[in-house]
Structure 1
Amino acid sequence: MTQTPSDELDEAQSSQDAQATASADFPVLAVGTTVHERYEITQVISESTDQHVYSVTDHQGYQHCWNCGSEQNSEGDEFCIDCGAELQNAVYTMHEYPAAKSSDSDADTFHGTIVNTFVEQGRTYAVEQAHAAVNAFPNGVHLLAASDSDAGDVRRSEPNEDSTLALVLQRVHESQAFPVGVFIVADGLGGHDNGQEASRMAINIIAERMVRDLLAAPLASEKAGETVEEASEDSLATLLQSTIEDANSAICQVNQRDKTDMGSTITGFMVVGDFAYILNVGDSRTYMVRAGQIYQLTTDHSLVGQLVAGGLIQPDDVYTHPQRSQIFRSLGDKPNVQVDIFKQQLHPGDILLSCSDGLWEMVRNPQIESILNNAPDPQTACTQLLETANTNGGEDNVSAVVVFVH
């Protein structure tokens, strides 16, 4: 059948009439309207015959924390008792559906997380929180740090060749905490000339450079009234890389001058805001405990590490293999040192540990995990890790730096 122009006009008119009827049956709520005695409409984002979308402010944020999802707060609470986020006037997107349609239609696509649904006056509502709105650290990042080192029971009469560094500047401004910190473990190579001097040099050079360029430089700029730009990821990684290269060059120069072969492994991390920049040269390790589970973040630059990676030995064999002390990267070995550096996003509750091989060879990962999960503070964790290493044999110098992230 051929459709005439008048037929098309009739269909168009019918469609317009239907839309008008639907609009009358499903009117858009005005800005300022409060729904569910809780959500105040601040903007109409879009409207159609089957869905209206609004931007709303939640005036009962205590019922559901926008940041951590806690529902343990009470009416009148201004801040979440679990994460510290401000509970008043959180902003959400609210979807409104007419009586004939529900929010679970296959046609609906949500870009965030649905935090509440309810029905009021025959209409269905879904309250959505955009993923980008979630801030893991609503009041900034707080760090608790500690370090400790022990010669180990077997080598008690010899110099402790390990050195550690825990350097942190934490400022709170306008209720926002922003930490900058550097945490390092350096293990002077046993059997080489003056291993303790190599690790001490590495720590001192890193500390001096980081105090000058990472900590003091922005403070001086602020004092001079200059605008301090936030450091980029590339600039921070470059600073860390060049600092380790400075330490390596200094040790190499001493070796060349004095005809020695001292050296050191090094591992650790630099924290700026809610990111950690992990570094490693050698077989000292950096771990992270997240949600109670331990993860080894660094890769051992050792013969046994390569054998494990190649599937030639099992991971547990690294603790007993006769060549487990052979490493192929260290500070002081070559003028050009290859440094592993990578970025790690931090979450509330994370625990970071850097340690020498004297710790991880004596204390297996499950035991490290248990100690870190149960210690009330970083200093207690360090003490318990060192004590456990000695209880399990104490065959080498043992050092640890522990940081709790809140």
Structure 2
Amino acid sequence: MPEVTTQVRTVALPDGELNLSWAEVTDTGRRREINQDAVLTLFPLFIVADGMGGHIGGEIASARTVERLRAVAETGEVSSKSIEKALAKAVKDIASHPGATDDGTGTTVTGLYLDTDAGDPHWVTLNIGDSRVYLARDGSLVQITTDHSVVQELVAAGRLSPEEAEHHPYGNVITRAVGPSDSVTPDYVRLDLVDGDRFVVCSDGLTKELTDYGIQHFLAEHDDPAEAVEAMLAAALENGGRDNVTIIVLNVAVSSTQDEDVSSTEDDVQGDAA
């Protein structure tokens, strides 16, 4: 198992401080010869890309897409506009690469970024494909992204139950990806900054082997992101490891200077009363 460490970052907010901690892991799994997943954790952008395509096509697609997004993160100017420009460049990279000749070559792109430009800092999730972003809050786990897959469309149409979807033969068929078409726009969801939130970004190599309940269990068992991703990876491999597995766990802690001011005022009042 690859070595995993927790990284930290402190971000100044208009009325307080944001403390982030995260860890990521990617593994080939037990049945695949190469790892076609790619991962990016470069503040303020956290991304998982799951490549698809014959031979090395999927590996090329996910790697080039993550490289283009890495360049965006390095500028610090992450927005829907800059992301979409990077994805358009990635599509051209994939199409022009001699090792990505298969018609089905492409990659999912899923993750989130911290948007501070609007003066009201918030998270934005993005998604193309069937990798996922989960949010753990107040003891519950919610899938924020919606899969772009044949099975999900059948579920949405009421033609398939969620239980049936788990074992459907078309479970691997996705309806949107970076690579097969000239222009693909992610779905976006805006989320407030909330103290105590925890995000999980993962490829379907995790969700094939671990239920939502299992993901929630390992988050509850492990506060440290590195320990959480290691435990989830170990469980996915033990359950079969049929695909490449990539996981990011991101912890969010928000402190407010207003709370500190109130505390200081209370201390002063108590001191005066004494």
TM band (smaller chain): 0.7 to 0.9
Query: Aligned partners of 2:189, 2:83: CA distance in 1, in Å?
Result: 10
Matched with 1:197 is 60
Matched with 1:45 is none
- The residue type paired with residue 238 of structure 1 is K
- State the number of aligned residues: 236
Q: Which of 64, 87, 92 in structure 2 is aligned with 1:249?
A: 92
- Cα RMSD (Å) of the superposition? 2.0
Q: Rg: which structure is higher?
A: 1
Matched with 1:207 is 70
Query: Aligned partners of 1:376, 1:258: CA distance in 2, in Å?
Result: 40
Query: Aligned partners of 2:29, 2:14: CA distance in 1, in Å?
Result: 39
Identity among equivalent positions (%) equals 34
Query: Aligned partners of 1:194, 1:368: CA distance in 2, in Å?
Result: 30
Matched with 2:211 is 364
Give 1:371 deviation, angstroms.
0.9
Query: Aligned partners of 2:167, 2:100: CA distance in 1, in Å?
Result: 35
1:240 aligns with 2:117: no
TM-score, L = length of structure 1: 0.55
Structure 2 CA distance for partners of 1:370 and 1:395, relative to 1, 3 Å: same
- The residue type paired with residue 145 of structure 1 is W
Describe how 1:375-390 pairs up with structure 2 within 5 A.
375-390=222-237
Matched with 1:277 is 124
Moved more, 206-215 or 395-404: 206-215
Matched with 1:324 is 171
Give 1:402 deviation, angstroms.
1.1
Matched with 2:23 is 146
- The residue type paired with residue 159 of structure 1 is I
Query: Aligned partners of 2:29, 2:62: CA distance in 1, in Å?
Result: 17
Task: Check conservation: 1:137, 1:348, Cα contact below 8 A.
Answer: no
Structure 1 residues without counterparts, runs of 5 or longer: 1-135, 169-180, 216-235
Query: Aligned partners of 1:258, 1:239: CA distance in 2, in Å?
Result: 24
Q: Note the alpha carbon deviations across 1:154-208, whole angstroms, 9 max, x for none.
A: 22xx01111101002xxxxxxxxxxxx1000000115465211111111111001
- The residue type paired with residue 46 of structure 2 is F
- The residue type paired with residue 144 of structure 1 is S
Describe how 1:4-19 pairs up with structure 2 within 5 A.
none
Structure 2 CA distance for partners of 1:193 and 1:260, relative to 1, 3 Å: farther
Matched with 1:88 is none
Query: Aligned partners of 2:136, 2:176: CA distance in 1, in Å?
Result: 26
Give 1:213 deviation, angstroms.
4.9
SS in structure 2 of the partner of residue 140 of structure 1: strand
Structure 2 CA distance for partners of 1:137 and 1:152, relative to 1, 3 Å: farther
Q: Which of 176, 179, 183 in structure 1 is aligned with 2:46?
A: 183
Structure 2 CA distance for partners of 1:258 and 1:384, relative to 1, 3 Å: closer
Matched with 1:333 is 180
1:163 aligns with 2:163: no
Q: Note the alpha carbon deviations across 1:84-140, whole angstroms, 9 max, x for none.
A: xxxxxxxxxxxxxxxxxxxxxxxxxxxxxxxxxxxxxxxxxxxxxxxxxxxx99532
Query: Aligned partners of 2:111, 2:184: CA distance in 1, in Å?
Result: 16
Task: Check conservation: 1:193, 1:260, Cα contact below 8 A.
Answer: no
Query: Aligned partners of 1:191, 1:396: CA distance in 2, in Å?
Result: 15
RCO greater where, 1 or 2, for CA within 8 Å and sep 6 or more?
2
SS in structure 2 of the partner of residue 214 of structure 1: coil
Structure 2 CA distance for partners of 1:335 and 1:253, relative to 1, 3 Å: farther
- The residue type paired with residue 59 of structure 2 is Q
Structure 2 CA distance for partners of 1:190 and 1:279, relative to 1, 3 Å: same
1:300 aligns with 2:161: no
Task: Check conservation: 2:151, 2:170, Cα contact below 8 A.
Answer: yes
Matched with 1:342 is 189
Query: Aligned partners of 1:350, 1:337: CA distance in 2, in Å?
Result: 29
Structure 2 CA distance for partners of 1:198 and 1:151, relative to 1, 3 Å: same
Structure 2 residues without counterparts, runs of 5 or longer: 1-12, 254-274
Task: Check conservation: 2:222, 2:228, Cα contact below 8 A.
Answer: yes
Query: Aligned partners of 1:160, 1:330: CA distance in 2, in Å?
Result: 18
Give 1:277 deviation, angstroms.
1.1
Structure 2 CA distance for partners of 1:359 and 1:190, relative to 1, 3 Å: farther
Q: Which of 336, 354, 360 in structure 1 is aligned with 2:201?
A: 354
Task: Check conservation: 1:281, 1:338, Cα contact below 8 A.
Answer: yes
Task: Check conservation: 2:60, 2:100, Cα contact below 8 A.
Answer: no
Give 1:393 deviation, angstroms.
1.4
